[in-house]
Structure 1
Amino acid sequence: MPFATIDGQPLHYLDQGQGPVVVLGGSYLWDHAMWAPQIEVLSRRYRVIAPDLWGHGQSGQMPEGMSSLNDMARQMMELLDYLSIDCFHLVGLSVGGMWGTRLALAAPTRIQSLVLMDTYVGVEPEQTRQYYFSLFDKIEASGSIPEPLLDIVVPIFFRPGIDPQSALYQQFRATLAALPTDRLRASIVPLGRIIFGRDDMRGRLHELNAQRTLVMCGDQDKPRPPSEALEMAELIGCLHVLVPDAGHISNLENPQFVTEALLKALRG
């Protein structure tokens, strides 16, 4: 799979299929493979670009000097410029929606449609921010995500009723447990602090094209609850869809529903 050098570091991305371009921006702590069910279907009629975040998948470490989600939006724009892609559909889940919103505001003429999934562009509630930062401190100090922290972190991403012995749950847990110390300290922890220390973009949501924007959220998403998705949809003035029987990684917990909704959104 290909790489692009952005801010001096190798950014890894999937590039599959032909046709109009769909960019898939994924969640923190997941790589591009989280989109596998959607990539399989979308790439039959679209060219799908799915980048790995810094320190995730096969991407290099977070570039020096990176300090905000605006930097990430610019980096993703540079990836698309590198690929000579002018216009594209953008689907962003979690942090993918956070940088995706910033990219759409910075380059509105390049966005053919925007789908914001399980995301929120307001500030992190202070109590939650402090809690996440305390987890980052522990991970940074230990150089790993130890068992007690895995028991806290992994369930955050799924609906409460998921079987903890399921392949989806266990594979994610194993991936986090295997993260090397250098990657955690150089990229994943500092990137997490950027994500959960983000600024408030809600005041600009009215600038998005409501006719070309869709907000989606798992009906059992814990870190980004449906109330946040509804708030964003109302500020944008766009359609709002709840994904049934799904938590934060709604595209993997109810892949058929999400894929069908994306196909409909991409068709306009």
Structure 2
Amino acid sequence: MPFAMIDGQPLHYLDQGQGPVVVLGSSYLWDHSMWAPQIDVLSKHYRVIVPELWGHGQSGRLPEGMSSLDDLARQTLALMDHLNIDCFNLVGLSVGGMWGARLALAAPERVQSLVLMDTYVGVEPEPTRLYYFSLFDKIEASGSIPEPLLDIIVPIFFRPGIDPQSALYQQFRATLATLPRERLRDSVVPLGRIIFGRDDILPRLHELDAKRTLVMCGDQDKPRPPSEALEMAELIGCSHVLIPEAGHISNLENPEFVNRMLLGLLRR
């Protein structure tokens, strides 16, 4: 997997397959491997590119002076320029959708289709913003994500009925438990504060092309409930799909359904 120097830091990304380009924007706390079921299917027909968030996977630390999700959108466009890619399809889950919507608003001529998954582009409701910021303070103070915090954070990403002994659940928990102190301090925590301290772009959603936009959400997503997805879809005027038997990381909890929806949209 290659790197591109963006804003003075090495951005790590997967680049697999040939054909029209599909960019996959990942969730906070996950690396490119969260998209494994989609990469496997889509790369047979498309060129799939998955940039890793700063401080995630093998990407470098959060660049100096980075302060908003608009920076993530701009940096992804810089990666596309680096790869000489003019137009692309964009699928963003969670924070991937937050910066993905901003990218589509900033460069509509370059985004052929946009899928917003398990995401919300309004401000974080104040009670949850304060709650997440208190978790960041605890992580910063301890220099790790200790067991009691893992017990809080890990379940957020999955549907309530998931088996906590499943490989998917345990693998994610183990990844978070081994995050190094420097990466948490320099990248993961400050990026989290940018994500959950974001500004509101709901008033701009009507500017998106409704015919080329799809909003999808796990029917059991706790941090980004289906009501938020419906609100965004109505503001855009686009189609809205609930992903059955899925929580926040819906693409991993119901990959067959998600793959079918993505392939259908891309073929259109």
TM bucket, shorter chain: over 0.9
In structure 2, the partner of 1:207 is 207
Give yes or no for the alignment of 1:81 onto 2:72.
Answer: no
In structure 2, the partner of 1:195 is 195
Matches within 5 A, 1:142-153: 142-153=142-153
Q: Secondary structure at the match of 1:187?
A: helix
2: CA distance, partners of 1:111 / 1:153: 33
Give yes or no for the alignment of 1:17 onto 2:20.
Answer: no
CA-to-aligned-CA distance 1:154-177 (integer Å, 9 cap, x gap): 000000000000000000000000
Give yes or no for the alignment of 1:6 onto 2:6.
Answer: yes
2: CA distance, partners of 1:219 / 1:50: 25
In structure 2, the partner of 1:253 is 253
Give the total of aligned pairs. 268
The CA deviation at 1:246 is: 0.1
Matches within 5 A, 1:225-264: 225-264=225-264
Q: Secondary structure at the match of 2:53?
A: coil
2: CA distance, partners of 1:166 / 1:249: 14
Please give the TM-score of this superposition, normalised by the length of structure 1: 1.00
Q: Secondary structure at the match of 1:120?
A: coil
In structure 1, the partner of 2:134 is 134
In structure 1, the partner of 2:118 is 118
Identity of aligned residues (%): 83
The CA deviation at 1:217 is: 0.1
2: CA distance, partners of 1:178 / 1:137: 18
The CA deviation at 1:208 is: 0.2
2: CA distance, partners of 1:264 / 1:182: 42
2: CA distance, partners of 1:141 / 1:267: 48
The CA deviation at 1:49 is: 0.3
1: CA distance, partners of 2:89 / 2:203: 23
1: CA distance, partners of 2:251 / 2:67: 29
The CA deviation at 1:267 is: 1.4
Q: Which runs of 4+ in 1 moved over 6 A?
A: none
CA RMSD of aligned residues (A): 0.3
Please give the TM-score of this superposition, normalised by the length of structure 2: 1.00
Structure 2 runs not aligned, ≥5 long:
none
1: CA distance, partners of 2:129 / 2:228: 16
In structure 1, the partner of 2:156 is 156
CA-to-aligned-CA distance 1:41-69 (integer Å, 9 cap, x gap): 00000000001000000000000000000
In structure 1, the partner of 2:57 is 57
CA-to-aligned-CA distance 1:192-220 (integer Å, 9 cap, x gap): 00000000000000000000000000000
1:99 maps to a residue whose letter is W
1:97 maps to a residue whose letter is G
2: CA distance, partners of 1:56 / 1:222: 23
The CA deviation at 1:265 is: 1.0
